[in-house]
Amino acid sequence: MGKNLTKRSDDYSKWYNELVIKADLAENSGVRGCMVIKPYGFAIWEKMQAGLDRMFKETGHENAYFPLFIPKSYLSKEASHVEGFAKECAVVTHYRLKNAEDGSGIVVDPEARLEEELIVRPTSETIIWDTYRKWIQSYRDLPLLINQWANVVRWEMRTRLFLRTAEFLWQEGHTAHETENEAIKEAEKIMHLYAEFVEEHMAVPVIKGIKTESERFAGAIETYCIEALMQDGKALQAGTSHFLGQNFAKAFDVKFATRDGKQEHVWATSWGVSTRLMGALVMTHSDDNGLVLPPKLAPIQVVIVPIYKGIEQLEAISEKVDPLVKELRNKGISVKFDNRDTHKPGFKFNEYELKGVPVRLAIGQRDMENGTYEVARRDTLEKETVPMDEVISKIEFLLEDIQKNIYQKALEFRTAHITKVDSYDEFKTVLEEKGGFVLAHWDGTLETEDRIKEETKATIRCIPIDAEAEVGNCMVTGKPSSKRVLFAKAY
Amino acid sequence: MGKNLTKRSDDYSKWYNELVIKADLAENSGVRGCMVIKPYGFAIWEKMQAGLDRMFKETGHENAYFPLFIPKSYLSKEASHVEGFAKECAVVTHYRLKNAEDGSGIVVDPEARLEEELIVRPTSETIIWDTYRKWIQSYRDLPLLINQWANVVRWEMRTRLFLRTAEFLWQEGHTAHETENEAIKEAEKIMHLYAEFVEEHMAVPVIKGIKTESERFAGAIETYCIEALMQDGKALQAGTSHFLGQNFAKAFDVKFATRDGKQEHVWATSWGVSTRLMGALVMTHSDDNGLVLPPKLAPIQVVIVPIYKGIEQLEAISEKVDPLVKELRNKGISVKFDNRDTHKPGFKFNEYELKGVPVRLAIGQRDMENGTYEVARRDTLEKETVPMDEVISKIEFLLEDIQKNIYQKALEFRTAHITKVDSYDEFKTVLEEKGGFVLAHWDGTLETEDRIKEETKATIRCIPIDAEAEVGNCMVTGKPSSKRVLFAKAY
Ligand SMILES: [Zn+2]
Ligand SMILES: [Zn+2]
């Protein structure tokens, strides 16, 4: 197809990296581990943001903004939190540069050293709970349901575009509640909200569950998650929602007057999804020809390519196309008429296939004579000839059908790649030869979990919330187990 | 009114600080110079963002995202730029913390020192032009019209909520063009776009002009700006748009193949507005009772307060109000029915006055009997009794009328506070006794500009683009001048 894209079957990882760059989603920057999100990639992210933001607001959340910097001492206040986040962060130590005395450029001014170092936020629990202390006095101030869209920094040694970058964009929700039960309900509600967004907008099926203790967020009592399966058989955690108990309220001394006049610590949750979702989107649907985008997130839903010789033919085609473009836009459909004279139709076909535009119309001389368009759908690459007066309803049908079809395809792939195993040997064989999720019995100990991870690189992705009770024995130790948990190698 | 707000006439600066905090717009955080933008304030900022973003997109711009960090060496590449920005920036020198050996907490790990320090972006020209080198090869890649919504950091010593903070939110446009003329046209277009936004959405009148050399952006050939006037007679720069010439293209070696096959450096612009606009909004319209918000930016446009005794009266009122709320929402009007039982009507009236809700409806027993609402408008504080079947058209009228009225009021204030003077003595008297903008002749030299600034604290806000040619003499040196320039003390 002239795209020079590595095939998935040859090297999945290389295919992914090439695709992200060639489809103009993102690229590496001059700053180690930090990416540039290009306009086409950012337009997809904006649609994700808009969808999520609407869902957050419909469930009573408000947006706010908290500082980028966190005083070093704040991080230490919650013991397990600092263990989880202190290791990989960007530290601001000075607030001024000056000209080097030898004229060699600019240097850090040693006199401008901060009394206390500032950490570039890896997540904002500490600075936010320091603020909530001032906002919460009484049960009347609760619940406090706040979300923030922000950039965060975690100093990762090995980075990959979208999947793992030193700086990434995300949203982080931080809520405060009167009771333990209400906070748990909130954390669960957000898990379901994330699942709904990822399945309905991104067309990516997910499994909802809770994390084991070793995979929990640093500072959480319980971590809820949604897990997706990529085409290479590896899992990807698409979102997490944490019940934090009273840990942060205690660390930052946030108490409230209860309905019966007592002073109690507040109950908390936090939750987030990030630009990592872009990686999940690319890896779930795309093929050897390029991106496949769900219509709900595609920046361009329909592209129209004219096939013509000379300005007169183009003008005649434009007279047909212009009203169609207008009508589609009135219906809220994002459409591009690519009448650039600098590129051939074949080049354009390739480009829009690479960029995952869901529906492509072409119109040439024969179409003009017959009153038709050639209509191609990106997911199956099928083409058909459609009479002009039926083209709008065809497009509306296709946009819905592609959204459903790629979800269905991903769901079938996942269903085919969830394997129940009853022995550790079988477990290893499935991981090695088939990949995907593996459902197996586990004795519930950290020791066994660690051993499995060390020996197979597979981790417990979650204990699915809809796991059926099933008496069994741990595949490694033979100890009793009451339900299967979900293993996989993961991103 | 029970708001305990300092009066503007007593202490304008104190009034502003109190109002920003009491109206729940923003507050200081535990990090020196960094603010927390509270949900109510952030909701206003989101409406500003949405309005601007739509205008950027309608004029062909796309959003993207570039790294938070800038390698120190990048800053040095454009000589005047580094002079302007190196002095006040947050410097990341390390990428890890560790537990202190004496168990006293966490400390910076001296072994995790960066080879090259990273600067938290004070503005992104350098990292973006380093990227554009890869994106631009030919005239076919131009124009490149990109905007970014981001946080930036400038280490200010004296900070004030919204007006001057170490971290602030903004948008920064960065465009690349084939010709000098096209880049100048872009910079001018954005100045007009900003003026349109600030006048039509924020209801704040502005004067468009160009900056003198000493007030120009570091690295610019020409800086266009819009200047607003606050109620205390001080000016506030509301937005700037820079024609950068080929300075950054040369510094970062960004060349393109021209239409006739030559290699030339690209022409650039950059432009931005920030959360500082929130300060302008507050200071232009608000009064001693609190915020006055333009309906186009008000998070709550209409609030309805029930006045009742007992649950039965409230239920009867709700039966009347619920369908009204629904109908207003269908019309896209943001409405809140405040039926909280925990607060008295008088408290609520005060609260919504303080928060600048444009239209307030109250409904009590007499209204129920008469089939009326009491309707109050925030800008003039006028109240009237309106029959229920006329209340929607009344609200629609008021939302438009308040938007116009507060603009008109601000315009009249500004008109009354632009004074033409012909002598330096008169200039000083006006600045001291009346304040506002002063139009005077100036000889065009940096020396005179500096002297005026030193002696009066007034700066040249701009050379207005619609300044009439008028032969005159510099008020300080008597040297010839061809038009008046706009002076003021400024934020
Ligand atoms: Zn398979
Ligand atoms: Zn006055």
pLDDT by residue (tens digit) across A261-301?
999 999 999 999 999 999 999 999 999 999 999 999 999 99
| Alpha-carbon gap, residue B43 to B41, rounded angstroms | 5
| Alpha-carbon gap, residue B226 to B490, rounded angstroms | 13
The set of long-range contacts for A311-314, using a CB threshold of 8 Å and a minimum separation of 24, is A313/A365, A314/A339, A314/A341
- Cα–Cα–Cα angle for B202, B203, B207, rounded to 5 degrees: 100
Among A87, A95, A99, whose Cβ lies nearest the Cβ of B96? Answer: A87
- pLDDT score for B295: 98
Among B64, B140, B169, whose Cβ lies nearest the Cβ of A65? Answer: B169
| Alpha-carbon gap, residue A294 to B296, rounded angstroms | 34
Q: What is the CA(B233)–ligand 2 centre distance, in A?
A: 7
Mean pLDDT for A32-47 is: 97
| Alpha-carbon gap, residue A438 to B227, rounded angstroms | 64
Q: Which of B21, B63, B69, B117 would best serve as a mutation to test chain A binding (most A beta carbons within 10 A)?
A: B69
Tell me the torsion sign for CA atoms B235, B241, B246, B249.
Answer: positive
Question: Does A21 reach chain B within 8 Å, measured CB to CB?
Answer: no
| Alpha-carbon gap, residue A317 to A373, rounded angstroms | 11
- Contact list in A for residue B64 (CB cut-off 8 A) is 36-39, 42
**Residue that the structure tokens 């790990």 belong to:** B109
CA B142 to chain centre: 30
- Contact list in A for residue B95 (CB cut-off 8 A) is 88-91, 155
Q: Do B29 and A153 touch (CB under 8 A)?
A: no
Q: Do A64 and B36 touch (CB under 8 A)?
A: yes
In DSSP notation, B364-424 reads: -HHHHHHTEEEEEETTT--EEEEEGGGHHHHHHHHHHHHHHHHHHHHHHHHHHTEEE-SSH
> Which residues, in sequence order, are bridge partners of residue B123?
none
Tokens of A81: 């939190």
Q: Do B69 and A118 touch (CB under 8 A)?
A: no
Tokens of A355: 């960029």
Mean pLDDT of chain A: 96
Tokens of A387: 């009479």
Angle between helices A391-416 and A276-285 (to 10 degrees): 100
Asked if B272 contacts B223 with a C-beta cutoff of 8 angstroms, the reply is no
Residues near B115 by beta carbon (within 8 Å), at least 6 away in sequence:
none
Q: What is the CA(A416)–ligand 1 centre distance, in A?
A: 7
The pTM for the full model equals 0.97
Q: Is the pLDDT of residue A1 over 60?
A: no
A69 DSSP assignment? E
Residues near B122 by beta carbon (within 8 Å), at least 6 away in sequence:
B85, B88, B89, B152, B153, B154
Asked if B266 contacts B141 with a C-beta cutoff of 8 angstroms, the reply is no
| Alpha-carbon gap, residue B458 to B432, rounded angstroms | 10
| Alpha-carbon gap, residue B114 to B107, rounded angstroms | 16
- Scanning A401-430 for CB atoms below 8 A from B yields none
C-alpha closest to that of A22 among A9, A34, A40? A40
Angle between helices B424-433 and B446-456 (to 10 degrees): 40
Asked if B236 contacts B280 with a C-beta cutoff of 8 angstroms, the reply is yes
Q: What is the CA radius of gyration of chain B?
A: 26
- Contact list in A for residue B110 (CB cut-off 8 A) is none
Domains of chain B: 12-285 (3.30.930.10), 302-398 (3.40.50.800), 418-488 (3.30.110.30)
Asked if A455 contacts A448 with a C-beta cutoff of 8 angstroms, the reply is no
Q: Confidence band (pLDDT; 50, 70, 90) for A168?
A: very high
The phi and psi torsions of B165 (rounded to 5 degrees) equal -130, 155
Per-residue pLDDT of chain B in tens (491 residues, 90 and over written 9): 456 899 999 999 999 999 999 999 999 999 999 999 999 999 999 999 999 999 999 999 999 999 999 999 998 888 777 777 777 899 999 999 998 888 778 899 999 999 999 999 999 999 999 999 999 999 999 999 999 999 999 998 899 999 999 999 999 999 999 999 999 999 999 999 999 999 999 999 999 999 999 999 988 999 999 999 999 999 999 999 999 999 999 999 999 999 999 999 999 999 999 999 999 999 999 999 999 999 999 999 999 999 999 999 999 999 999 999 999 999 999 999 999 998 999 999 999 999 999 999 999 999 999 999 999 999 999 999 999 999 999 999 999 999 999 999 999 999 999 999 999 999 999 999 999 999 999 999 999 999 999 999 999 999 999 988 999 999 999 999 999 999 999 99
Distance (Å) from the alpha carbon of B67 to chain A's nearest alpha carbon: 6
Q: What is the CA(A284)–ligand 1 centre distance, in A?
A: 13
Q: Nearest residue of A to residue B115 by CA position? A: A32
Q: Do B97 and A62 touch (CB under 8 A)?
A: no
**Residue that the structure tokens 């349901």 belong to:** A145
C-alpha closest to that of B131 among A90, A161, A26? A26
- Scanning B326-345 for CB atoms below 8 A from A yields 342
In DSSP notation, B110-141 reads: TT-EEEEEEEEPSS-HHHHHHHHHHH-SBGGG
Of the bound ligands, which one is closest to the alpha carbon of residue A231?
1
- pLDDT score for A2: 53
- pLDDT score for A87: 78
Residues near B44 by beta carbon (within 8 Å), at least 6 away in sequence:
B25, B278, B281, B293, B297, B298, B299
Q: Is the bond leading into A143 cis (omega within 30 degrees of zero)?
A: yes
Of the bound ligands, which one is closest to the alpha carbon of residue B412?
2
Q: Nearest residue of B to residue A43 by CA position? A: B63
pLDDT by residue (tens digit) across A182-202?
999 999 999 999 999 999 999
Q: Do B342 and A140 touch (CB under 8 A)?
A: yes
pLDDT by residue (tens digit) across A355-373?
999 999 999 999 999 999 9
| Alpha-carbon gap, residue A25 to A278, rounded angstroms | 9
Of the bound ligands, which one is closest to the alpha carbon of residue A433?
1
Distance (Å) from the alpha carbon of A86 to chain B's nearest alpha carbon: 5
Q: Between chain A and chain B, how many beta carbons pairs sit less than 8 Å apart?
A: 190
Among A27, A70, A120, whose Cβ lies nearest the Cβ of B92? Answer: A120
Asked if B333 contacts B395 with a C-beta cutoff of 8 angstroms, the reply is yes
- pLDDT score for B78: 80
Q: Which of B22, B92, B131 would best serve as a mutation to test chain A binding (most A beta carbons within 10 A)?
A: B92
SS3 at position B198 = helix
C-alpha closest to that of A266 among A280, A247, A239? A247
Q: In this predicted complex, what is the ipTM?
A: 0.96
H/E run at residue A12: helix A12-22
Question: Does A92 reach chain B within 8 Å, measured CB to CB?
Answer: yes
| Alpha-carbon gap, residue A338 to A348, rounded angstroms | 8
Tokens of B128: 């973006």
Phi-psi group of A109: left, alpha or beta (phi > 0 → left; psi -120 to 50 → alpha; rest → beta): beta
Among B37, B90, B108, whose Cβ lies nearest the Cβ of A65? Answer: B37
Q: Do B86 and A94 touch (CB under 8 A)?
A: no
Question: Does A446 reach chain B within 8 Å, measured CB to CB?
Answer: no
Of the bound ligands, which one is closest to the alpha carbon of residue A230?
1
Q: Which of B53, B106, B109 would best serve as a mutation to test chain A binding (most A beta carbons within 10 A)?
A: B106
pLDDT by residue (tens digit) across A115-164?
999 999 999 999 999 999 999 999 999 999 999 999 999 998 899 999 99
- Contact list in B for residue A93 (CB cut-off 8 A) is 91-94, 108
Tokens of A427: 């477990």
Asked if B148 contacts B172 with a C-beta cutoff of 8 angstroms, the reply is yes
Q: Confidence band (pLDDT; 50, 70, 90) for A336?
A: very high
β-bridge pairing B480-481 and B472-473:
antiparallel
- Scanning B42-71 for CB atoms below 8 A from A yields 42-43, 45-46, 62-71
Distance (Å) from the alpha carbon of A36 to chain B's nearest alpha carbon: 5
Asked if B100 contacts B106 with a C-beta cutoff of 8 angstroms, the reply is yes
Question: Does B140 reach chain A within 8 Å, measured CB to CB?
Answer: yes
Question: Does B79 reach chain A within 8 Å, measured CB to CB?
Answer: no
SS3 at position A285 = helix
- Contact list in A for residue B86 (CB cut-off 8 A) is 96-99, 106
Question: Does B322 reach chain A within 8 Å, measured CB to CB?
Answer: no
In DSSP notation, A377-429 reads: ETTT--EEEEEGGGHHHHHHHHHHHHHHHHHHHHHHHHHHTEEE-SSHHHHHH
C-alpha closest to that of A42 among A166, A169, A196? A169
Strand order through the sheet with B222-229? B62-63, B144-153, B167-177, B267-274, B235-245, B222-229, B207-210, B459-464, B484-488, B437-441, B418-420
A468 DSSP assignment? P
